[in-house]
Amino acid sequence: MILVRNILVTILVVMVFSRCKNKQEKQKPISDVVMTDYYTEPYRPQFHFSPEENWMNDPNGMVFHKGVYHLFYQYYPEDIVWGPMHWGHATSKDLVHWEHKPIALFPDEHGLIFSGSAVVDFANTSGFGTLDNPPLVAIFTYHLMEGEKAGRDDFQTQGIAYSTDNGNTWTKFDGNPVIKNDGLKDFRDPKVFWDEKSHQWIMSVVAGDHLELWGSSNLKEWAKLSEFGKDKGAHGGVWECPDLFPLKVEGSEEEKWVLLISINPGAPNGGSGTQYFIGEFDGERFTTEQTETKWLDWGTDNYAGVTYNVLPQDYHGNTYANDPKQDRIFIGWMSNWTYARDTPTQKWRSAMTVPRKLSLKKISDAYELVNYPIQGIEALVANGVKKDIELQNGLEETIFFDDLNQSEIRFQTVARDFKVKLQNTLGEETVLTMIDEEKVFYLDRTNSGKVDFQEDFASIQEMPIPFLPEVYEVRILVDQSSVEVFINEGQYVMTAQIFPSERYTKLSFLNSSEAPITLNNFRLSSIQGTW
């Protein structure tokens, strides 16, 4: 018995030493790491966030505090398929390079830890910290599996936890849950912010097929204020992951309120997607005159995304050089519930989109929410091919590149009929097509690589593009298992996973119009890995 125990202790010491060694290697600049197999598994994203191992879904608790961006996320630490939910945790100074942290929140007697948000309680309204050291407060959904299995409708409630050491450790409130459930089967995903006009905390929380707004003076005691959405927007599935925030209309002093609502199923290209509403919020109710459904991203793989909470403009505490100020920075889960459990990865499953800045623009007399990669991504882009590409009608130009699966493709054009193909030597390809007559952009991944792991994955995705200006930009970010397309600086966006059997090395442009076209300022560049 003593021998067995000594052997187990030895194994444990070796494992701990190995994990510590790996952690040290992760924190070295990329140029200092000569050889490492860290984060090099097949399909492992190189400039997107992904967990070190096991299952991840929705981003949670996105908050900036004392120079640190916190990213929490739905996490199951025992397997690469969905299981009892925890809050995983990572931090960053630039939203590009990430450091993994220990699990922040574990399930307890009230249930699993589902999605939610986090705030800086800058005035210490909760009493969990002090004015000199305001606490971080996490607000999340408890999901009591025993209640669900018993057929009850009150198994989802809202709880809170707090941290006084900038998110390193968390204490759950002993008065949880702070909002109980009167019988709503789907009552979850609280997103909380401080409303300066009504001088209270506002919680957006979904209730099946609509939104509820709640108010609180101290984050502990809540009162229901209003409802929204039973007769608005898409209702092909359950509403999830709300986010309500103000934005100035670009080029003016006009301010509107934006409401993000994820829905599953019911997205325009199948499964999961995120719709948005533009309207007004008076401190109690959100209203909108919007009649059509608007989508943040037309691809199949951008879901449950929310934005970083920002501090009030008159916040009296310390500021930092990397403070987002009033910028709205969005991160989404880069997957789709239709096939999320089936994607062909082994050690981990799922990644996040690149962080994107949200902007509000008025286009053709309508308010449109634009999302575009944050400036920090530019620092990862290496020098590459630069030229203008001129193509006669019906002709194709091909460029060979060592690794298109870690690249940026970028150009300006007036062209409306063309194809862009990412290909490998096996004949696999992801095809992007713009057709002027239809005013539609297509992303075809039916022959992109491994597609047979789930029957709906091999798809041709469509995005209407009715209001393009004469000259516009196309920007494509390709990672080991994803493609993100931004047209006209984020006016039209598509995000999709791909799983090629080998790396793409051939980029082709086909002029499918009846006239010559030019791709101006064309650039094909490598993107540096961040791990």
Q: Give catalytic residue positions.
A: 58
Which residues pair with residue 215 across a beta bridge?
202, 223
Under DSSP, the state recorded for 179 is: B
Say which amino acid occupies 74: Q
Nearest to 484 by CA among 466, 468, 518, 461: 461
Q: Tell me the H-state helices in 360-498.
A: none
Residue 274: closest CA among 58, 499, 454, 478: 58
Angle at 522 between CA 515 and CA 368, to 5 degrees: 85
Query: What are φ and ψ of residue 400, in 5° steps?
Result: -95, 140
In the structure encoding, which two tokens stand for residue 26, read together?
């992760």
Q: What angle do CA 55, 478, 378 make, to 5 degrees?
A: 105
CA distance 159 to 173: 8
Residues contacting 434, CB < 8 A, separation 6+: 415, 416, 417, 418, 419, 440, 441, 442, 465
Whose CA is closest to 207, among 227, 180, 234?
227
Residue whose token pair is 């849950």 = 177
Phi, psi of 313 (to 5 degrees): -60, -25
Sheet containing strand 506-511, edge to edge, reads 396-400, 506-511, 418-423, 429-435, 440-444, 460-464
From residue 14, how far is each of 6, 8, 35 by CA, in Å?
Answer: 12, 10, 20
**Which pair of structure tokens corresponds to residue 164?**
């006084």
Rounded to a whole number of angstroms, the distance between the first and last alpha carbons of the chain is: 42
Token duo for residue 251 = 């080029």
Instruction: Quote the CA–CA distance of 439 and 43 in Å, as a whole number.
Output: 33
Residues 6+ apart with CB under 8 A from 221: 178
**470 is written with which tokens?**
């004469």
